[in-house]
Amino acid sequence: PEGASSWLYDRDPTEPLRFEKPLAELRARLDKGEKVFEDLITKYLIDNKHKVVVKSFPDPSLEAEMAKNEAAELQKVRESMTEDEIKVLVEETAELKKRQEAEDPPEKLALIPTLAMEDLDREGRNIPIDVGSEKGTTVLRHDLPTNGIAYVDIGFDMRVLPLDLVSYVPLFSRCLTEMGTKDLDDIALTRYIQTHTGGIYTSHQSSLKSGNGDLVPEPEVVSHLFMRGKATYAKNKEMFSVMTDMMLNTNLDNKARFLQMVLETKARLEGQVVGSGHSFAAGRIGSRYSVAELVSEQTGGIDYLLFIRKLAEECESNWEGVLAKLEQVRTLLVDRKGMIVNLSAEDKGMSAVQGELENYIDSIPLREGESKVQDWQAEMQKFQGPGEGFVVPTQVNYVGKGCPIYKVGEKTSGSAAVVSRFLRSSYLWDKVRVVGGAYGAMNVYAPNNGMFKYVSYRDPNLMKTLDTYDGTSKFLNDLSKELAPAALANAIIGMVGDMDAPMSPDQKGFTSLDRYLSGQSDEARQARREQVLATTAKDFAEFGERLEAVAKEGTVAVIGSESALNEANEELKLDIKKIV
């Protein structure tokens, strides 16, 4: 990518690859004591007198004013045209739509290099895993070529948290890496991590357990907060030491810093909901049906944005109450009974970290009694109505629709994933993006709970896009009767490409951990692969029949402009709220 960037501007594309010499020169200057970076910071930042302050103020009437001006401009242009000119414009528009909807000629498609079915591996690629136990804690080990680096992932079960505390997890995670500890302030902690490790960071994720065989199981959520680190084998002691310090001794009582993080999060979410509304729409739909997506909504969706706004006020009015909840999150989460450790390294690396791993496990408190797993499913809000609309200051829309297309106990197949993927690059691409003018269109299919969702990205349409979604069943039914063997093969090859995407050693280790937690066995994955490879045109028609459920019963979620939502709501009857 760096080479391509240089090439685009007529520079030598190989220059970014020759980094050894300039790097050696930089190191030589630093070794001599030259203040390379300090001088640059002083010159271009501290002493730089060239600056500008830009302030932006929202205008609630801007959208209506722009629409009025656009309508006036179009009317002016139309009045300046003759009837013959208008006729020509109509004909050219019709010709454009005809070309947009036309299929690419087979002889043109044949010119594109592609793999053949016989080029695909029939057997899936498994990741080595050894499941063991250390002092009562589950430890997964992956013997992988990591080039002398130990990758450590430590997970804590989030299901012990009441639902009202779950929304604190993203900020609590940031506290662990940004607030400092009892012995190291935030700057000293950052320097220690950078000096002795390749990085330590946190993440959280929630998913559903996979079922036995191909049946959609009863929903069982898997949810963890992860602290992830990497270091050379020689530095594993320092890595485990600082990870212990961060997890047990983070200084949560720093109102000013915490409030800053809250306000940063608020600004980021408000920007994201306007610029990436498709992900918020998809999450809103999923949270109606899936407890895992409900947790994601509580920790990153619209509900989380509303929580953050209230939290900003609470930090000012009741900091002691906020601090008490953060401490409660730590007390409930940091428990050896709910912990799992994931290691990725060569065999010699496993031996090198063993002693420090045992010390780390010993350092984590072992709470007395049974840890209560919360029933988040029982606390799910029962949504009413056909869906929701959220008004944001934008001229485009993010249009979503979805629902489960397989019920608990029904059988799914790997072929469904092939058809779902095919839709993104064919029907939805052509109808919503090329013809409809949206910047993007996609769909999400989750076989572990049978959920299917459509979403569009920066879409000038709303009702037209929903009509396109509802026409998917007919498209697949018609396609199944005339699906060319080459098109079917390309759909299968694309799906296998996704399944066999290249991964770095740490990605392999974490992917294996995810599969273990969700109950995806190598045997089940191989069975899915064989179903993918055996996909036929009939599977396209059967999946189309399943999608009738979305057309008839699907929940709608739209992030968009007030005018578009109000116009569409005469038919949709959505619950409309203004959020930005």
Q: Does residue 110 lie in a domain region?
A: no
Q: What is the residue range of 92's domain?
A: 62-102
Q: Percentage of the chain surpassing pLDDT 90? A: 86
Lowest mean pLDDT among 65-74, 173-182, 362-371: 362-371
Whether the CB-CB separation of 398 and 277 falls below 8 Å is answered with: yes
Q: Does residue 57 lie in a domain region?
A: no
Q: Where are the beta strands (DSSP E) in 90-174?
A: 130-134, 137-143, 149-157
Same-domain status, 19 and 89: no
Same-domain status, 135 and 267: yes
Q: Does residue 30 lie in a domain region?
A: yes
Same-domain status, 72 and 165: no
**Which has the higher per-residue pLDDT, 109 or 512?**
512
Structural domain total, the chain = 4
- Binned at pLDDT 50, 70 and 90, residue 1 comes out as low
Same-domain status, 389 and 360: no
pLDDT of 196 above 90: yes
- The CA distance from 379 to 236, in Å, is 42
How high does pLDDT run on average in the chain?
Answer: 94
- Per-residue pLDDT of 361-387, as tens digits, reads 999 999 887 778 999 988 777 667 889
pLDDT (average), residues 200-207: 96
- Per-residue pLDDT of 452-472, as tens digits, reads 999 999 999 999 999 999 999
Q: Nearest 5 degrees, angle CA 205-CA 207-CA 212?
A: 150
Same-domain status, 494 and 544: yes
* Confidence (pLDDT) at 5: 77
pLDDT (average), residues 412-430: 96
Same-domain status, 95 and 153: no
**Which has the higher per-residue pLDDT, 367 or 280?**
280
Same-domain status, 316 and 282: yes
* Confidence (pLDDT) at 305: 98
Q: Domain containing 414 — which CATH number?
A: 3.30.830.10
CB burial class (10 A; 0-12, 13-18, 19+) of residue 323? middle
* Confidence (pLDDT) at 8: 79
Same-domain status, 270 and 208: yes
Of the candidates 289, 284, 285, 224, the residue with the CA atom closest to the CA atom of residue 449: 289
Report helix, strand or coil for 232.
strand
Of the candidates 294, 350, 325, 271, the residue with the CA atom closest to the CA atom of residue 559: 271
- Binned at pLDDT 50, 70 and 90, residue 292 comes out as very high
- Helix (H) or strand (E) segment spanning residue 577: strand 575-578
Q: Does residue 95 lie in a domain region?
A: yes
- Binned at pLDDT 50, 70 and 90, residue 2 comes out as low
Residue 367's CB is within 10 A of a number of other CB atoms, namely: 15
* Confidence (pLDDT) at 405: 98
Q: Does residue 55 lie in a domain region?
A: no
pLDDT of 579 above 90: yes
DSSP bridge partners of 181 = 250
Same-domain status, 324 and 223: yes
- Binned at pLDDT 50, 70 and 90, residue 110 comes out as confident
pLDDT (average), residues 159-172: 97
pLDDT (average), residues 244-266: 97
- The CA distance from 385 to 295, in Å, is 21
Q: Does residue 200 lie in a domain region?
A: yes
pLDDT (average), residues 199-209: 96
Same-domain status, 504 and 568: yes
pLDDT of 78 above 90: yes
Q: Does residue 310 lie in a domain region?
A: yes
Lowest mean pLDDT among 32-41, 364-373, 526-535: 364-373
Same-domain status, 244 and 335: yes
Q: Where are the beta strands (DSSP E) in 105-235?
A: 130-134, 137-143, 149-157, 199-208, 221-232
Whether the CB-CB separation of 186 and 178 falls below 8 Å is answered with: yes
pLDDT of 4 above 90: no
pLDDT (average), residues 380-408: 91
Q: Does residue 545 lie in a domain region?
A: yes
- What is the strand order of the sheet 555-560 is part of? 440-446, 451-457, 398-404, 555-560, 387-391, 575-578
* Confidence (pLDDT) at 6: 77
Whether this prediction's pTM lies above 0.85 is answered by yes
Whether the CB-CB separation of 436 and 459 falls below 8 Å is answered with: yes
Lowest mean pLDDT among 52-56, 157-161, 339-343: 52-56
Q: Where are the beta strands (DSSP E) in 209-338?
A: 221-232
Same-domain status, 352 and 480: no
- Per-residue pLDDT of 468-527, as tens digits, reads 999 999 999 999 999 999 999 999 999 999 999 999 999 999 999 999 999 999 999 999
- Binned at pLDDT 50, 70 and 90, residue 231 comes out as very high
CA-CA distances (angstroms) from residue 319 to 314, 322, 324, 326?
Answer: 7, 5, 9, 11
